[in-house]
Amino acid sequence: MKNLFIKVVFISILLFSFQELFSQVLVEKGIKNGGSEPNKEEDYERLQQSVVYFVVPDYLFEDVDKEEFTKQIKKCWTYSKHIEVVNEKESQNHLSDEMAAFFTIGYTVTDARFSDIYFELWQVRQNRVKMYGPKVKFGRIALYLPCEIYSKLIHAKKGEITEIVNGKLKYLNFNAGITSFYLKNFCNQLENRKGLEDPIRNEKIKELATDTLYIVETFLEEMKPSEGNCKKEVHNSNEIEHYAYPYKIISREELEEKLSSNRSFYFLDTYPNCRYYNVHYNTYTLLWGLWYGNFPFNYEKELKKWSKTIENALKKK
């Protein structure tokens, strides 16, 4: 039963809207997912009345304080009545509960190649309380792996992927601060379920012309896992000068400190072997989701493009 919640999902990129794929936190917007029925309003109403079980394998708490993690998770989750942090064995006691939903680890394989891994929120469709019955999938939170493991997975054969994922994987973004931030973002998206607004029409984007964008220093770090190269290359901070508006480079520790303060600020977050670049506002609102398909990242081209988007937003009435 150990690996009960690890599952492979074969998807087509067309199942999700193009813009929604750019996000570290993806919430379904009532579309068909995984070949199941579309989400309905009553599914969300039921979720709001349910207990959510955030299922975490015990080994992940070897490096993370479980008490602090649980405290932060309970503090930030606001969408449903209650949330509990449990291990895989404890979760078994709630599988037949009609008013139970689960955040569990899942991963995606596309065209027989590993794509990504994440925490996914799901609930067995009402009146079909079976562990392997049809599920309502509400969304997912991306998990980032160390480059060596990620490279191994994307070069693995289909049968090897399951074996690797079922091992004791560690995640770069699993800790109390960043996970609670993702959950707050998740709740915010569940509330509106409208997807990301076109940046040019988003009034908040205009504020980036005068407000400081805090850029996590890992934005300047680059690895090439698809080439089997996990040597970290650190680019010169001058690269960011192609961004035409106010910014400040901060460490990940400084970001987590700012997140815990609940102050409103803009920040751009990413990881060295990750292709997602997300701009957030007000500590839990995803403002701008960006995805870069190829390494190496072209700082001059892309930052000038981002600056142009802000410029165009300012011109928009």
Residue owning tokens 């901060």:
250
For the chain, percent of residues with pLDDT exceeding 90: 29
Query: What H or E segment, with its residue span, contains residue 138?
Result: strand 135-143
Q: What are the DSSP calls for 166-196, one per residue?
A: TS----TT-SHHHHHHHHHHHHHHHHH---P
- Give the pLDDT confidence score for residue 52 in this predicted structure: 97
Q: Which of 47-51, 244-248, 274-278, 313-317 has the weakest average pLDDT?
A: 274-278
Counts of helices then strands in the chain (DSSP H, E)? 9, 14
- For residues 30 and 44, the answer to whether their CB atoms sit within 8 Å is no
- Give the pLDDT confidence score for residue 287 in this predicted structure: 61
**pLDDT band for position 88 (cuts 50, 70, 90):** very high
What kind of fold does domain 199-315 have according to CATH?
Answer: Rossmann fold (3.40.50)
Outline where the chain has alpha helix (H).
41-48, 66-76, 88-91, 147-154, 158-165, 176-192, 203-207, 252-261, 299-315
| Three-class secondary structure of residue 90 per DSSP | helix
- For residues 143 and 153, the answer to whether their CB atoms sit within 8 Å is no
- For residues 261 and 252, the answer to whether their CB atoms sit within 8 Å is no
Domain range list for the chain: 8-192, 199-315
For residue 292, give both structure tokens. Answer: 């870069």
Give per-residue pLDDT as tens, 114-158.
888 999 999 988 665 555 567 889 999 989 888 899 889 989 987
The listed range with the strongest mean pLDDT (17-31, 59-73, 284-298) is 59-73
Q: What are phi and psi of 243, to 5 degrees?
A: -80, 125
Contacts of 239 by beta carbon, 8 Å cutoff, 6+ apart = 220, 299, 300, 303
- Give the pLDDT confidence score for residue 229 in this predicted structure: 78
Nearest alpha carbon to residue 106 among 25, 166, 147: 166
- Give the pLDDT confidence score for residue 18 in this predicted structure: 27
- Give the pLDDT confidence score for residue 289 in this predicted structure: 58
Task: Give the torsion sign (CA, 61, 62, 63, 68).
Answer: positive
- Give the pLDDT confidence score for residue 202 in this predicted structure: 63
- For residues 179 and 173, the answer to whether their CB atoms sit within 8 Å is yes
**Section 291-312 average pLDDT:** 78
Encoded amino acid at 307, one letter = S
- Give the pLDDT confidence score for residue 15 in this predicted structure: 26
For residue 48, give both structure tokens. Answer: 């709001």
Contacts of 250 by beta carbon, 8 Å cutoff, 6+ apart = 214, 215, 216, 217, 258, 267
- pLDDT(14) > 70: no
Q: Look over the chain and give the mean of its residue pLDDT values, rounded to a whole number.
A: 78
For the chain, percent of residues with pLDDT exceeding 70: 74
- Give the pLDDT confidence score for residue 9 in this predicted structure: 34
